[in-house]
């Protein structure tokens, strides 16, 4: 077990280094001059040259990357041009809001997806299976941001059941019930696609397990059907579902960029949209790197959990 964990951790290092290269190159290839965006009407040739030198933009691209990477390894993500505060502080502050949204969305999609997949597999070709299959196809096909706007129009504007946007009420809010009221719509909109994917794979894995000989033997011995399904079949199917859940955890964090913009959620996605529009390169690089690294770490945790449940799995 420990050798497997060590091997997986060592394999994660080049992946994270590759992420830093990709993030840096993508931001470097975006057209526009950050110094010009910062100075605006004060952008004289002298001011531009001085600011580029201060920001290190006058250095060759490989040297810029090495300086940036060296600073990151020391925990220094730089300073935001527009916010005038450390990038890491801003990213972590916004990322906590994103984790609340993504964590709630992941819990919703796992519960809905697993339950729907089990019911669909147990009632194969029945009316429940057909309805769930139809809903899953619709859910996978609907863009999360479009569904979010529809939910705002229906549940917030027309029915007035939930707030339109934000994380807390402007006046008189700030407690847990207020947070939950603001969280329901964006978390549900973000969870629909992931729930559909988990439901489909749960159904296929459950059907494969339910056809095994030992399941037939358990039923022939008169074992209760619930115990057969949940005590035997689902335990085996869960091992193959864990990596899928890890991938969907990364999906909901990445998809939070759109949902946070639609619902004005004060998370890292909304921060990235604002930073890109103002050409705040260090803030964008720090935000994207944290999101991408969290995606890698979620998948690493999923792999380790899968190996713990089934030690026969090799790296």
Query: What single string gives the DSSP state of each residue in 50-103?
Result: HHHHHHTTTS-HHHHHHHHHHHHHTT---B-TTT-SBHHHHHHHHHHHHHHHHH
- 256-313 per-position pLDDT tens digit: 878 888 888 888 888 888 888 777 888 888 888 888 888 888 878 877 777 777 666 6
Pick the CATH number of 87-212+240-309 from 1.10.3720.10, 2.60.200.20, 2.60.120.380, 3.40.50.720: 1.10.3720.10
Residues forming beta bridges with residue 24, ordered by sequence position: none
Measured distance CA(54)–CA(74) in Å, rounded: 20
DSSP state at residue 222: T
Q: Which of 98, 100, 107 is nearest to 261 (CA)?
A: 98
Tokens of 131: 């309805």
CB 283 within 8 A of CB 82: yes
How far is the CA of 296 from the CAs of 109, 173, 263, in angstroms?
20, 35, 26
DSSP alpha helix (H) spans, the chain: 2-29, 34-39, 45-55, 61-73, 87-122, 127-141, 144-151, 176-210, 213-220, 225-226, 234-263, 268-277, 281-309
Q: Which of 14-23, 100-109, 170-179, 227-236 is least confident?
A: 170-179
Phi, psi angles (nearest 5°) of residue 86: -60, 135
Note the pLDDT of residue 313. 61
pLDDT > 80? residue 107: yes
Measured distance CA(23)–CA(128) in Å, rounded: 45
Tokens of 144: 């999360």
Measured distance CA(246)–CA(249) in Å, rounded: 5
| Segment 120-139 mean pLDDT | 88
> Any idea where the domains of the chain sit in the sequence?
87-212+240-309
Measured distance CA(224)–CA(81) in Å, rounded: 64
Note the pLDDT of residue 312. 65
More confident of the two residues 91 and 11: 91
Using the structure block, give the residue that is written with the tokens 């794979």: 201
Using the structure block, give the residue that is written with the tokens 């993500």: 77
Tokens of 119: 């019911």
Local confidence band at 112 (pLDDT 50, 70, 90 cut-offs): very high
Note the pLDDT of residue 108. 92
- 172-197 per-position pLDDT tens digit: 666 788 888 888 999 999 888 889 88
pLDDT > 60? residue 124: yes
Note the pLDDT of residue 111. 92
- 201-260 per-position pLDDT tens digit: 999 888 888 888 888 888 887 777 778 888 778 888 888 888 888 888 888 887 787 888
CB 101 within 8 A of CB 189: no
Measured distance CA(164)–CA(200) in Å, rounded: 31
- 70-93 per-position pLDDT tens digit: 888 888 888 887 788 888 888 888
Q: Which of 192, 117, 120 is nearest to 150 (CA)?
A: 192
């Amino acid at each position: 077990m420990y050798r497997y964990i060590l091997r997986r951790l060592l394999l994660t290092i080049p992946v994270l280094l590759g992420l830093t290269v990709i993030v840096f190159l993508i931001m470097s290839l975006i057209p526009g001059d950050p110094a010009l965006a910062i100075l605006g009407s004060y952008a004289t040739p002298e001011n531009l040259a001085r600011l580029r030198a201060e920001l290190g933009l006058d250095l060759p691209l490989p040297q810029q990357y090495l300086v940036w990477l060296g600073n990151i390894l020391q925990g220094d993500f730089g300073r935001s041009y527009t916010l005038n505060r450390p990038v890491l502080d801003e990213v972590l502050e916004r990322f906590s809001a994103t984790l609340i949204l993504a964590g709630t969305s992941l819990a919703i999609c796992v519960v809905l997806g697993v339950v729907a997949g089990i019911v669909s597999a147990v009632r194969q070709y029945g009316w429940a299976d057909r309805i769930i299959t139809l809903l899953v196809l619709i859910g996978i096909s609907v863009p999360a941001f479009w569904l979010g706007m529809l939910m705002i129009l229906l549940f917030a504007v027309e029915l007035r059941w939930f707030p339109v946007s934000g994380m807390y009420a402007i006046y008189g809010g700030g407690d847990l019930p207020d947070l939950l009221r603001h969280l329901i719509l964006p978390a549900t909109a973000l969870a629909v696609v992931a729930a559909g994917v988990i439901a489909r794979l749960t159904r296929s894995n459950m059907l494969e397990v339910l056809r095994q000989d030992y399941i037939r033997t358990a039923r022939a011995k008169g074992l209760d059907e619930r115990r057969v399904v949940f005590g035997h079949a689902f335990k085996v199917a869960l091992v193959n579902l864990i990596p899928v859940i890890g991938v969907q955890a990364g999906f909901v964090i990445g998809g939070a960029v759109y949902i946070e913009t639609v619902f004005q959620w004060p998370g890292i996605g909304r921060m990235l949209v604002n930073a890109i529009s103002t050409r705040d390169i260090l803030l964008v690089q720090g935000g994207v790197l944290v999101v991408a690294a969290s995606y890698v770490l979620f998948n690493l945790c999923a792999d380790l959990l899968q190996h713990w449940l089934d030690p026969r799995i090799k790296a």
